[in-house]
Amino acid sequence: MAAWLDEVISAEPLLLPGHAACAGCGPAINVRHVLGALTTATPNHKIVLVVPASCWTIIAGVWPVNAFGVTVYLTPFASAAAEASGIKAALGLRGEDDTHVVVWGGDGSTNDIGFSTVSAAAERNEDLIYVLNDNEAYMNTGVQKSGGTPEGAWTTTTPTAAPREGTKKDVDRIMAAHGIPYVATLAAGSVPLLKDFRAKVARAAELEGFRFLHALGACPPGWRYSTDQSVEIVRRAVESRYFPLLEVDAGTWRITYRPKHPLPVSDFLTTQGRFAHLSEEQIALVQRHIDERWDRLGRLEAATSIQTEGVTT
């Protein structure tokens, strides 16, 4: 086993046993590795986790109980990025600049209800690490559609008689357009993908300014699959290019994982009941949109690489 993975397994838990997450919760895996990678990359830093209304305000526990091995601050839906900015400023006034202030927000609070404060914090280039925990719907309140819900997916507000139309909000390009230092997508779907995941968190840890990490979080009750399949489903999401792994570092786009033998998107969609109603024609349309997005990412990568080379020569 790789030395870095031994270190992960032996590390002091930053999400403690007995928390209230569902069995098979994908984001529970993600949060362990975000916090663990930050601790490994910057061992002298403290962490304050800012959590807007979501499953994770429940999972964190009711004071004085705390499921995390770090300080947690709970906020209303819309204000996490603003409150995190205030926390970071207050810590700076106290001389505690060696503290990572990390927002752990869902797709609803990030893409929709709280987007104005996220965008404002990014525009000011606040010194925050913002993690989008993307389980692709409002799961805590009953699986309602969000701006992160993919096309064709069942939710309680987009039933199978009228499946969700249109592609999900391209939040990574939106955040990159703010000119922030770092944007990256993360997926804990296999050891190679996990290594990519933790390397990106480590890169975010060494930078200053607003850093945006977008982690895919598989959700058994919302996505309708068996609780033992979370890691495999995330792996298929990446291998089918449904969820591309990329980073935008100082404006330069880079695809960080290219599947050698890309899976058809049907191999991902058919693992989940939320897509069970889709016809072959609808699945073919999803595949076409995925292929188009992958081609667009390739063009962004090529274009920004050329620009970077032009600056350095």
> What angle separates helix 230-239 from helix 191-206, to the nearest 10 degrees?
80
Q: Which pLDDT score is estimated for 5? A: 58
Q: What is the pLDDT of residue 17?
A: 86
Question: pLDDT at residue 56 above 50?
Answer: yes
Q: Structure tokens of 210?
A: 């607003």
- pLDDT for res 312: 36
Mean pLDDT of 260-265: 98
Question: Quick one: pLDDT at residue 94?
Answer: 96
State the pLDDT at residue 12: 61
What pLDDT was estimated at residue 160? 76
Q: Which residue has the tokens 């080379």?
A: 309
With tokens 């010194």, the residue in question is 127
- How much is the mean pLDDT over the chain? 93
Q: What is the pLDDT of residue 62?
A: 84
What integer is the mean pLDDT of 74-89? 97
What is the C-alpha separation between 247 and 76, in angstroms, rounded?
29
Q: Mean of the pLDDT values across residues 308-313?
A: 43
Q: What is the CA radius of gyration of the chain?
A: 19
CA gap 55, 48 in Å, rounded? 18
